[in-house]
Structures are given as C-alpha cells and as structure tokens.
C-alpha cells in the first residue's frame, strides 16, 4: 500500500489519487469498437467475443427454463435461505421509499399538478462474473426494479468456460422474478442490452456494476440508452482515528481488495501509528488466505494510506475522493460521519463492515465509483421509476399567470409562446 503524507489542501491530494484510476481514452475506444461490432452483427458478435474473452463456446445466448430449474440442484437450502433474507430486507427498504412517492398532488390557484409514479418499461441488469460469482448483485439490481413495477427485467452475465452461468445466480434470478437471462458479459453484454440483437430486445435502462471495461461500455452506451451510474471497479475508503483497532481496518481492506486487482482500497487517518499498524496487519493477513494473489496485487497497485494533519483534513480528503464505500471507525465516528457529503454509502462504527452491507443489511451494494459519489448514492427504486407530471389548468388559473408568461416570452424573444396564452383570455 502506498503511503501519502497529505499536505494542505487535503482535497487536492484526493483529486490526484482519484485521477490515477480514471478511465483512459484507450479503454473507451476499445469498448466502443466492440459495441459498434455488436450493433452491426448482433448475436454472432456477442458469441465471438464471449469465446475470446470468457473462453466459452456457446451456441445460444438465452438461458432456458430447464437450465434454471436444474440450477436448484446445485445449490443448498442454506444458500436459498440467505438469498431470500437478502431479498426481503432490501425489498422492505425499497418499498418504504416508494411509499413516500404516492399521491403527490400540488394545487395552486386553478392549477392542479399530479406527480404520478410510473415504472421504467424495461431494465437490463449487468451481473459480473469472471473470477467470482455475484448472485447478490442480481438481487440488488432486480429487487428494486420489481418493487418499482418494471414489466420486463433482463439479466446478462458472462458464462464460465463450460458455457454455463453460475447456478446460484440463476436461482437468484428465479427468486427475484427476472424475466430473461442471457450469457453475455463485458462490453458486448452492455451493447446487446443497449442496441439489441436477434436474441435480446433492447431495454429502456441498464443498471449494475462491473470492472473498468464494463464501466467504459456503460458510458459509451449512455448516448443511446439510460444508465444508472458509473459503478465499478469497487472502492473502499476507511477513516479511522488512533483508537481504532488496526486488525479490523486491515481485514476490511482485504475483504474488498479480493474483488479484483483493480479494486481501490485506502485508509485516511491522522494517526501515523495507526497507519503503520494497519500496513503491518494487512501485509501479514494477506499471506496464505483465499484469493491471496488478487488481494496482494490490488493492495500493491491501488491500495493507499493517506495521513492527514487532523480530523477536518481527513473529512476534506474523503469528500473530494467521494468513495463508493466509506467506513468510519473511532471515538467520534458519528461526528465524523456528519461531515461527509460525498460517498455512495457511509458505514458508521466498528461493527459495520462494508462486506456486510454487500449482502444482508438492507442497503444496496450497487454504488457510484470514480468520484460519482458527489452527485448520487446507491441504486434504489428511484432508478426504476419516473415522476410523470399531469397538469390541469382552469381558465382562471391560466389568467393568473398570463402576465408573467408575457414578460418571460418577450424577454426570450418567443412572442408566439405568449400568443398561445393570450388567445385563451
């Protein structure tokens, strides 16, 4: 892990750290080339790229009903119970938000505005694969979509070398009411959802996390279809004071670092002693564990420790970095958390590891990365609905605003705008 002694201003150091993980123009060009190929050649291009990047030779993109049924024979009852717990907790949280949006009516002097909640017509959920399996991500994407009332929910995920999708992911899709599942990962999977192919009809919106390549593809697709956010590769920033347990800080950094080598994990602290202890613990704990190679590479290439002069500077660093996950450990954890304005998710206290939030706390683990925590938070039911304004105006209500419309239309050089109002007097 790289050590950075942060000079003032702390925000500038965070900007430099964040810039080091920006998506390159070269990566964007690669993603666009693949997507253009899929747009031109459909299924055949997706199948070719699946063979090239995933090492899987497949004849059909769609996962059949029998394949989903047989997946149940390859999972345990305990795993199914865990999926259902995750689904129930997340669903409760999402429905609580949706309930607040019901029956919004605004009345003002002859004008009635009804703000009606309407679900997005169709959604494509990108579920990562590769070096790990992510049935939890399917739950995080599909449950809020289902709660919102989306009629068509599609999932795409890269197959393993034997041409199948992870059994637990297929079971999760069935439990969560996903309508269609396809074997398509990477930029080619995003392109299939955005532009459509012979097998896959295009969707209204694409959601879900992925590595740098998938993130680049989602950015490229956003010119043609709505997307949720920049979501990947994963990030974890931990703020800890001198009282924090270095073992807990180290194990949490490792827990996120095991995702992939491009994961970004860091500690920000004002304690040089804690910084040294965390480095020592992380180095020692990384030896001989599962996925050790990925963890070591991730921490070596993208891990960092930022040492700031005080708590205020640490908060400035965190707000500018705007991490996907921010853990806060220390005596003044609540006070520090109140300073945070930019983070996808804030986890407060020593018993709130980001790994737990990835599964069963009831929060969503699809979160903004690469600094987009400044402008939004987690995926939620709000990503799957739109507020449609239905406006009724009486003759008296139009007369009330006639003068203001005249002034504004005249100022903007659009006289016929006012004329449409004047003739109704």
Count, residues in the chain: 425
Q: CB–CB of 357/345 below 8 Å?
A: yes
Token pair for residue 402? 């006639």
Q: Which residue shows structure tokens 């203001």?
A: 404
Catalytic residue among 325, 327, 365, 407: 325
Q: Has 67 been annotated as catalytic?
A: no
Could you tell me the CA-to-CA distances from 262 to 3, 15, 133, 306, 387 in Å, in that order?
A: 18, 18, 17, 19, 37
The CA distance from 203 to 197, in Å, is 11
Could you tell me the CA-to-CA distances from 310 to 6, 190, 241 in Å, in that order?
A: 10, 43, 9
The CA distance from 265 to 77, in Å, is 34
Q: Has 311 been annotated as catalytic?
A: no
Catalytic residue among 91, 94, 235, 324: 324
Token pair for residue 290? 């599962």
The CA distance from 265 to 95, in Å, is 32
DSSP state of 386: E
Burial class of residue 270, CB neighbours in 10 A (0-12, 13-18, 19+): buried
The CA distance from 68 to 168, in Å, is 10
Q: Hey, which residues are catalytic here?
A: 324-325
């Amino acid at each position: 892990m790289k050590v950075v002694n942060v000079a003032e201003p702390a925000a500038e150091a965070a900007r430099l750290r964040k810039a080091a993980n920006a998506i390159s123009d070269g990566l964007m060009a690669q993603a666009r080339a693949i997507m253009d190929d899929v747009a031109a050649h459909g299924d055949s291009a997706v199948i070719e790229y699946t063979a090239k990047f995933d090492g899987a030779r497949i004849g059909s993109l769609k996962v059949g009903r029998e394949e989903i049924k047989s997946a149940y024979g390859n999972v345990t009852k305990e795993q199914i119970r865990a999926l259902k717990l995750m689904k129930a907790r997340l669903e409760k949280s999402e429905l609580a938000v949706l309930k607040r949006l019901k029956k919004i009516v605004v009345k003002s002097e002859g004008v009635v505005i009804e703000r009606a909640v309407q679900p997005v017509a169709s959604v494509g959920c990108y579920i990562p694969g590769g070096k790990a399996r992510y049935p939890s991500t399917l739950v995080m994407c599909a449950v809020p979509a289902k709660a919102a009332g989306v009629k068509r929910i599609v999932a795409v995920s890269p197959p393993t070398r034997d041409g199948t999708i992870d059994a637990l992911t297929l079971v999760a899709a069935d439990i969560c009411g996903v309508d269609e599942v396809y074997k398509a990962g990477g930029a080619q999977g995003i392109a299939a959802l955005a532009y459509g192919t012979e097998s896959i009809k295009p969707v209204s919106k694409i959601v879900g996390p992925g590595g740098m390549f998938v993130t680049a593809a989602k950015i490229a697709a956003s010119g043609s279809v709505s997307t949720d956010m920049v979501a990947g590769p994963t990030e974890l920033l931990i703020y800890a004071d001198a009282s924090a347990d270095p073992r807990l800080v180290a194990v949490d950094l490792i827990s996120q670092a095991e995702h992939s080598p491009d994961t970004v994990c860091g500690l920000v602290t004002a304690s040089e002693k804690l910084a040294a202890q965390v480095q020592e613990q992380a180095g020692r704990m990384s030896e001989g564990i599962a996925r050790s190679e990925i963890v070591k590479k991730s921490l070596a290439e993208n891990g960092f420790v930022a040492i700031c002069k005080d708590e205020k500077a640490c908060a400035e660093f965190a707000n500018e970095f705007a991490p996907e996950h921010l853990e806060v450990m220390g005596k003044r954890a609540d006070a520090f958390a109140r300073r945070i304005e930019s983070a996808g998710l804030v986890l407060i206290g020593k018993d709130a590891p980001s790994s737990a939030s990835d599964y069963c706390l009831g929060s969503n683990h699809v979160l903004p990365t690469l600094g987009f925590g400044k402008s939004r938070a987690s995926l939620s039911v709000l990503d799957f609905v739109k507020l449609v304004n239905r406006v009724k105006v009486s003759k008296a209500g139009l007369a009330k605003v006639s003068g203001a419309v005249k002034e504004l239309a005249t100022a903007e050089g659009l006289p016929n705008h006012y004329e449409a109002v004047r003739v109704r007097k």
